[in-house]
Amino acid sequence: MLVKQRYMKDKRIRIKNSIGQMVHSYREETDELDIAKNATAFPPNLIHSIDASILSTFIFNCYNKYNIKDYLVIHDCVGVHASNAPVVHRTLGESFLGVLTGTQIENLFTEPMDSASWGRYDGCSMRGEVINTSQYLFS
């Protein structure tokens, strides 16, 4: 899923009456990119899009493999009926590994962005047994 982020600078337009009092104001977007806003928004937007990819993959797999249709999802938390918890736990771990060890994530960190030195991403060292014992992935 391609995610685009485009925050532009804006200017405030003020409308004043004949005696100089401001009656109304509004913002209008300009054609100039807001570098600071884009820079501060990138990390959380990246994490949210990764979380969304994991949850989308998870729900798709649970529905297609196990016909699980009832979910309660809030951000990166998932609730299901207790009888489905073991299979959901396993499938969520598989989805987590699938997204975070996929070529798209690896390409994000290995493809050169510009001439600056960004360091190298040496691949994901996560293994299934690490995910299964994770304190942040529980049912």
- 1 within domain boundaries: no
- 66 within domain boundaries: yes
In the numeric block, which tokens belong to residue 82?
A: 């207790």
- 15 within domain boundaries: no
- 101 within domain boundaries: yes
In this prediction, residue 59 carries a pLDDT of 92
How many domains, in total, are found in the chain?
1
Q: Given a cut of 50, is residue 44 above it in pLDDT? A: yes
- 14 within domain boundaries: no
* Main-chain dihedrals φ then ψ at residue 11, nearest 5 degrees: -125, 150
- 41 within domain boundaries: yes
- 63 within domain boundaries: yes
If one compares 122 and 44, the residue with the highest pLDDT of the two is 44
In this prediction, residue 121 carries a pLDDT of 47
In this prediction, residue 84 carries a pLDDT of 92
Domain that holds residue 96: 36-132
Q: Given a cut of 60, is residue 67 above it in pLDDT? A: yes
Give the start-end residues of each E strand in 43-86.
Answer: 72-74, 77-79
If one compares 31 and 114, the residue with the highest pLDDT of the two is 31
Confidence of residue 47 (pLDDT cuts 50, 70, 90): confident
3-class secondary structure, 12: strand
User: Mean pLDDT score of the chain, rounded to an integer?
Assistant: 80
- 68 within domain boundaries: yes
Q: Given a cut of 90, is residue 52 above it in pLDDT? A: no
The pLDDT > 90 percentage for the chain reads: 21
- What's the rounded Cα separation, in Å, for the pair 55 and 63? 12
In this prediction, residue 115 carries a pLDDT of 47
- What's the rounded Cα separation, in Å, for the pair 59 and 78? 10
In this prediction, residue 76 carries a pLDDT of 72
In this prediction, residue 62 carries a pLDDT of 94
